[in-house]
Amino acid sequence: MRIPTSFASVLLSAALLAALSGCGQGQQAGGPPPAGEPEVAVVTIAPQRTTLTTVLPGRTSPYLVSDVRPQVGGIVQKRLFKEGSEVKVGEALYQIDPATYQAAYDSAKAALARAEANALPAKLKAERFGALVKVRGVSQQDNDDAQATHRQAEAEVLSAKAALETARINLSYTRVSSPISGRIGKSSVTPGALVTGNQAAVLATVQQTDPIYVDVTQSSSEVLRMKRDLASGKLKKAGADGAKVKLLFDDGTAYAQEGALQFSDITVDQSTGVVTLRAVFPNPGHELLPGLYVRAVLEEGVEEQALLVPQPAVSRDTKGNAVVMVVKDDGVVEPRPITVGRVVGDKWLVTSGLNGGERVIVEGLQKAKPGAKVKAVEAGAPAPAGVPAPAGAGQQNGTQPSATAQNAPTQNASTQNASAAAPAAKPEAAKPEAAKPAAPKAELPKAAAAKAPAEKAPTEKAPTEKAPAEKSAPEKTATEKAPAKAERGVVYSPPKSEPWPASTLNAKPDADQQPAQN
Q: What is the pLDDT of residues 270-288, one digit of tens each?
A: 888 899 989 999 999 889 9
Q: Label residue 281 exposed, middle or buried (CB < 10 Å: 0-12, 13-18, 19+).
A: buried
Arithmetic mean of pLDDT, 304-320: 89
CA-CA-CA-CA torsion sign (40, 46, 50, 54): positive
Which of 379, 376, 380 shows the shortest CA–CA distance to 368? 376
Residue 487 in domain: yes
CA 104 to chain centre: 69
Question: Domain total for the chain?
Answer: 3
Residue 159 in domain: yes
Beta-bridge partner residues of 245: 259, 298
Q: Which of 132, 152, 173 is the last residue of a domain?
A: 173
Residue 160 in domain: yes
pLDDT band at 138 (very low <50, low <70, confident <90, very high): confident
Mean pLDDT of the residues in the chain: 75
pLDDT, tens digit, 9 for 90 and up, residues 474-495 = 444 434 444 444 444 455 566 6
Q: Do 105 and 166 have their domain in common? A: yes
- Provide the domain limits for residue 370: 39-49+305-378
Give the model's pLDDT for residue 192: 94
Statement: residue 125 has pLDDT above 50: yes
For the stretch 389-420, what's the b/e string if a residue is b when 16 or more beta carbons lie within 10 angstroms of its beta carbon? Answer: eeeeeeeeeeeeeeeeeeebeebeeebbbbbb
Q: Do 418 and 327 have their domain in common? A: no
Statement: residue 76 has pLDDT above 70: yes
Q: Return d(Cα 206, Cα 201) in angstroms, integer.
A: 14
Which of 243, 268, 271, 269 shows the shortest CA–CA distance to 258? 243
Percent of the chain's residues with pLDDT above 90: 36
CA-CA-CA-CA torsion sign (343, 348, 350, 353): positive
Query: Is-cis flag, bond preceding 211, omega within 30?
Result: yes
Give the residue with greater pLDDT, 303 vs 510: 303
Q: Do 426 and 509 have their domain in common? A: yes
Give the model's pLDDT for residue 255: 93
Q: Return d(Cα 157, Cα 114) in angstroms, integer.
A: 8
Q: Is the CB of residue 356 less than 8 Å from the CB of residue 45?
A: yes
pLDDT band at 4 (very low <50, low <70, confident <90, very high): low
Residue 184 in domain: no
Give the model's pLDDT for residue 155: 93
pLDDT band at 501 (very low <50, low <70, confident <90, very high): low
Residue 216 in domain: no
Give the model's pLDDT for residue 180: 94
Residue 33: helix, strand or coil by DSSP?
coil
Statement: residue 382 has pLDDT above 70: no
Q: Return d(Cα 109, Cα 116) in angstroms, integer.
A: 11
Residue 211 in domain: no
Percent of the chain's residues with pLDDT above 70: 64
Statement: residue 184 has pLDDT above 50: yes
* DSSP letter, residue 262: E
Residue 491 in domain: yes
CA-CA-CA-CA torsion sign (125, 128, 132, 134): positive
Q: Return d(Cα 246, Cα 282) in angstroms, integer.
A: 12
Q: Do 485 and 444 have their domain in common? A: yes
Which of 461, 453, 469 shows the shortest CA–CA distance to 516? 461
pLDDT band at 35 (very low <50, low <70, confident <90, very high): low
Beta strands, E only, 31-146:
39-44, 48-68, 74-79, 86-87, 92-96
Residue 332: which CATH number?
2.40.420.20
Give the model's pLDDT for residue 64: 94
Q: Return d(Cα 202, Cα 507) in angstroms, integer.
A: 99
Residue 243 in domain: no
Q: Which of 173, 208, 239 is the last residue of a domain?
A: 173
Statement: residue 410 has pLDDT above 60: no
Amino acid letter for position 403:
A
